[in-house]
Structure 1
Amino acid sequence: MKASNAPTTARPSVSRKHVIVLTSSAAVLYVLIEMVSGFSAIVTARVVGSPAVAGLGPAIVFGLAGMTSVPAGWLSDRVGRRPLLSGGFFIGGLGALAAGLSMGTQTVLWLWAAWILTGMGIGILRLLKAAAADLYPPQARTRGIGVVQTGALLGAYLGMAVATGRSPQATMRMLADPWFLVAILWIMGMIGTWGLLRPDPIQMAHAWETDQDVPHRSVLPRTGHRRIGAILLAISVIYGVMVMDMALAGEVLKQMGAGSRTIMIVMAVHFTGMFGPMRWAGGWATRTPRPRMALMGAVAMIAATATMAIVSLTPLTISISLFVVGVGWCIAWMAGLGELAEAVPPRERGTIMGMADFGSDIVAAIITLFGGVTLAHYHLTGLVILGVSAGGIAMGTIAWGWPTRRAKISADPI
C-alpha cells in the first residue's frame, strides 16, 4: 500500500533562498552591463588614445557575450547551473578588475583582456533565466523567470547612478574606482552562488518534472522546426528593435542638446518599462496564450516607435515612448521565454536560452547598425520606418509560425 502512495508524495517547494540568490545575481549582472554601456567606449578611446577605436570596447563585450551564450548554456545543462554561474561571476569579476587596472596603468593589454573577460562573464550570467525556470513547477516557470529578472531593475539603476556620477572628463583614477567596486561585487556573487545555490537548480528541475511535463525526445536538433524557429526569430527581432530604439534615442537626445544627466534619466525610465513589469508579465504568461501575448507586446513597441515620428520630440515624449517600448519588449520577451522553457527538458534548457540570447545579440547588432546609418541619412522618420518594419516582421513571424494553441512544441510533428 505504501508503494502505491509514492506518486502522491509532496513535490518540492520553491526555495526562497534560491530565488533571493538569483535575483541578487541579476542585479549584480546589470550593474556591470550598465557600466559597460556607459563607460566602455570612453575608456577604450582614452586608454588607446584614439576616438576611432571607441566602439571596439562595447563591440567586444557584447559580441563575446553572444558568442559565449550557447556553449555556456550547453555546458550548464551537463555540469549544472551552479558551477557555470559561479564561474561566470569569477570571469566577469576578473574582467572588471582588469578594466580598473587598465585605467590606472594606461595599459592597452589589460584593456583588451578586460573586455574579453567581461563579455564572457556577461554571456554566462545571462543563464540566470534557465536557473530561474528550473526553480519553479512547470505551470509557474515563466513567473519564476519574471521574479528573478526584476533584480535587473535595481542593478540597472545602480549602474546608471555610477555612470551619471562620472563625466567623460573625469580623471582615469576616478573612472577606475567604480570598476574595482564592481569586481568586488562579482567576486561576492561567485561566493554567494557557489555556497548558497545548493542543491543545484537543475536538480530541483528534475524533481519538479513528471513524465507528462517534459518531452522524451530531444528538442534542440529541431530548432529549424517552424514553431521553435519562429519563437527564436520573433523574440530576437523584438529585442533588436528595442535595443535600436534605446541606443539611437540617446543620439537623438544629444542632437537636441540634452545633457548626460537627462539622457540617463530617460534611460532609467526605459529600463523601468523593461524590467519593472517582469513579475507581472511572467504571471500573465501562465494564464494567457503566449502567441497572443507576444503580438500585444510587438504592437505596443511598434506604436511607441511610430509615435516618435508623429509627436513633437522632447525628453518627456521620448521617455514615454521608450517606456512603452520597454513594456512591449518585456511582454513579448516573457511570452517567448516561457514557451521555450516549456518546450525543453531541464537538460536542454540552458542551451535553448543561450540560443535565444545569441540570436537576440546578432539581430540587435544588425538592426542597430542599419538604424545608425538610417538616422544619419534619413533622420528620425527613416529610423521609425525601419523600426516599424522590423516589428512587422516579428508580428508576421508570430502569426505564421507560432500558433495560439498551447500544445507542447515537442509533440508537434516534424
Structure 2
Amino acid sequence: MNALERRAVSALALLYSFRMLGLFMVLPLLALYATDLEGATPALIGLALGIYGLSQALLQIPLGWLSDRVGRKPVIVGGLLLFALGSLVAGLADSVQGVIAGRALQGAGAIAGTVMALVADLTRDEQRTKAMAIVGASIGLAFTLALILGPLVAAWGGLSAVFLLTVALALLGIVIVLGLIPGPGAAAAAREEPVSGSLRRSLGEPELLRLNAGVFVLHFVLTASFLVIPGLLESGLGLPRERHWEAYLAAVLLSLLGVVVLMRRAERGGRPRQAFATGIGLLLLALGLLAELPRPLAICAGLWLFFVGFNYLEATLPSLVSKAVFAGGRGTAMGIYSTCQFLGAFAGGAVGGLIVQRYGGSVLLLTCLGLVVAWLLLALPRLASVADAAAGGELSRP
C-alpha cells in the first residue's frame, strides 16, 4: 500500500472499530441489566438487543445510494450523529421501551456499506482485498474489546454508562472522518464507475448469495447466543455479572491462537475454503457444548471455540465478498452484504427473545446450531468444486 492508502485504511478501520465497539458493548449486558428496566420481558429484551439491526438493514442501501450522489463523508458524519443521538436516548431511558427506541435510532445511522465503499474508493484494485481484510479484522478486535470493556463499565455505572460512552465514541468517529480520512477529491478519482443492473446481478450471483446467507446466519447466532451466554456464566460458572469480563478476556485471548492457525492454513497452506469450513464447524461444536453440556468445563470450551469461529469468519467474509464481486458492482454488493449482516442481528435478537421466553435458552442454542448446519451445507457445493479443481490440476501435471 502507498502512503495515502495506509492512511485511509487505518483511519477507516479505526472509525469502524469505534462504531462497532459501541454496538457490541451491550451484547453481553442487555440480557442481565435490562431485567431491571420497567416493562422488561425476555422477548422485549431480545427486541432491544436486535432492533438496531432492522433499522440498519432498511437504510444500508438507501444511504449507500445517497453517498454516491452527495459524497461518502457527509453520509458517514450524519450517520454518526444519529448513532450518538440514539445512544443518548437509550442511556437516559428507564424503561425497556425507551432502550428499544434508542437502539432503533442507533441503527438508523446505517453507514457500514458506505464506509466499505469508501475503503474501495481509496484503494487500488490490487490492494483492495487486503484493505477489506484489515477493516474486517478491526471488527473482530472491536468485538473482543467490547466483551471486556462493556462489563467493566457496566459494573461501574450500569447500562446507562455504557450507552453514554457510546455517545463519546460516535463523536470521536466524527473527528476521525473530518481530520484523518482523505478528502472527497481523492475518493472521486479512484471511484469505480457503476454498471447498470448491478443490484439484480448482485442478488443473483450464487457466490455472493452464499456469502450473504452466511453473514446473516453468523450475526443471528452472535446476537441470539448472547441472550443465553451471560446466564450460563452466572449459573454454570458461578461468576457474578461484574466479573464476566474475566471469562471473556480469557476466552478471547486464547481464541487468538486458533484464529492464527486458521489464517495460516488459509494463506500459507493455500486452503482458504477449507479453513472457512473449519470456522463454521467450530461454531457448530461450540453451540453443541453450550446447549447440551452446561457444565463449567464445557462452557469454557464452548466459549473459546465460539470466539475462534466467530472472529475468523467475521474477519474473512468481507474479503471473500470483495473477491467474488464483479467490476463496477462493489458498492451495491457491499450494501447488500451489510443489509444481510444487520438483518441477521435483528432476527437473532427478536426471534431469539421469543424462543427464550417460550422454550428456554437451550432450545435457542439448538436453533442456532441448526442454522449453522444449513450454512455449512450451503457452502459445501462451492467447497467441493474447489476440491475438484485442485484434484484436476494435480492429475493434469506431467
| Secondary structure of the structure 1 residue equivalent to 2:105 | helix
Preserved contact between residue 146 and residue 282 of structure 1 (Cα < 8 Å): no
Alignment counterpart, residue 304 of structure 2, candidates 323, 326, 336: 323
Amino acid across the alignment from 2:317: G
Shift of 1:397: 0.9
Identical residues among aligned pairs (%):
20
Shift of 1:69: 2.3
Alignment counterpart, residue 50 of structure 1, candidates 33, 39, 50: 39
State the partner residue of 1:410. none
State the partner residue of 1:3. none
Moved more, 194-203 or 183-192: 194-203
State the partner residue of 1:404. 386
Task: Give the 3 Å change call, closer, same or farther, for CA 351–33 of structure 1 in structure 2.
Answer: same
Task: Give the 3 Å change call, closer, same or farther, for CA 16–328 of structure 1 in structure 2.
Answer: same
**1:292-331 residue pairs with structure 2 within 5 A?**
292-308=274-290, 313-314=295-296, 317-331=298-312
Task: Give the 3 Å change call, closer, same or farther, for CA 179–199 of structure 1 in structure 2.
Answer: same
**1:69-148 residue pairs with structure 2 within 5 A?**
69-100=60-91, 102-103=92-93, 114-121=102-109, 123-125=110-112, 127-148=114-135
Tell me the TM-score normalized by structure 1.
0.73
Amino acid across the alignment from 1:161: L
Q: Distance in 1 between matches of 2:261 and 2:16?
A: 14
Task: Give the 3 Å change call, closer, same or farther, for CA 274–365 of structure 1 in structure 2.
Answer: farther
Amino acid across the alignment from 2:40: P
Q: Distance in 2 between matches of 1:225 and 1:80?
A: 27
State the partner residue of 2:55. 64
Shift of 1:193: 0.4
Q: Distance in 1 between matches of 2:242 and 2:314?
A: 29
Alignment counterpart, residue 356 of structure 1, candidates 309, 334, 337: 337
Cα deviation digits, residues 117-163 of structure 1 (max 9, x gap)? 21222x32465444344444434433322323444425752574253
Alignment counterpart, residue 175 of structure 2, candidates 175, 191, 194: 191
**1:150-229 residue pairs with structure 2 within 5 A?**
150-152=137-139, 153-154=141-142, 156-157=144-145, 160-167=148-155, 176-200=160-184, 202-203=187-188, 205-206=190-191, 218-222=197-201, 223-229=203-209
Q: Distance in 2 between matches of 1:180 and 1:404?
A: 48
State the partner residue of 1:340. 321
Q: Distance in 2 between matches of 1:87 and 1:274?
A: 35
| Secondary structure of the structure 2 residue equivalent to 1:51 | coil
| Secondary structure of the structure 1 residue equivalent to 2:154 | coil
Q: Distance in 2 between matches of 1:70 and 1:291?
A: 29
Preserved contact between residue 242 and residue 326 of structure 1 (Cα < 8 Å): no
Q: Is 1:25 the equivalent of 2:15?
A: yes
Q: Distance in 2 between matches of 1:237 and 1:81?
A: 28
Cα deviation digits, residues 146-194 of structure 1 (max 9, x gap)? 32344442575257425334349x6xxx654554443233223113202
State the partner residue of 1:4. none
* Count of aligned pairs between the two proteins: 380
Q: Distance in 1 between matches of 2:104 and 2:36?
A: 18
With a CA cutoff of 8 Å and minimum separation of 6, indicate the structure with the bigger relative contact order.
2
Task: Give the 3 Å change call, closer, same or farther, for CA 127–317 of structure 1 in structure 2.
Answer: farther
| Secondary structure of the structure 1 residue equivalent to 2:108 | helix
Q: Distance in 2 between matches of 1:301 and 1:267?
A: 16
Shift of 1:255: 3.4
Q: CA RMSD in A?
A: 4.3
Amino acid across the alignment from 2:154: R
Amino acid across the alignment from 1:255: S
Structure 1 residue ranges without an equivalent (≥5) = 1-10, 408-414
Task: Give the 3 Å change call, closer, same or farther, for CA 36–375 of structure 1 in structure 2.
Answer: closer
Moved more, 127-136 or 14-23: 127-136
Preserved contact between residue 87 and residue 163 of structure 2 (Cα < 8 Å): yes
Amino acid across the alignment from 1:29: R
Task: Give the 3 Å change call, closer, same or farther, for CA 62–184 of structure 1 in structure 2.
Answer: same
Cα deviation digits, residues 75-113 of structure 1 (max 9, x gap)? 33444432322222222122223344x35xx69997666
Structure 2 residue ranges without an equivalent (≥5) = 390-398
Tell me the TM-score normalized by structure 2.
0.75
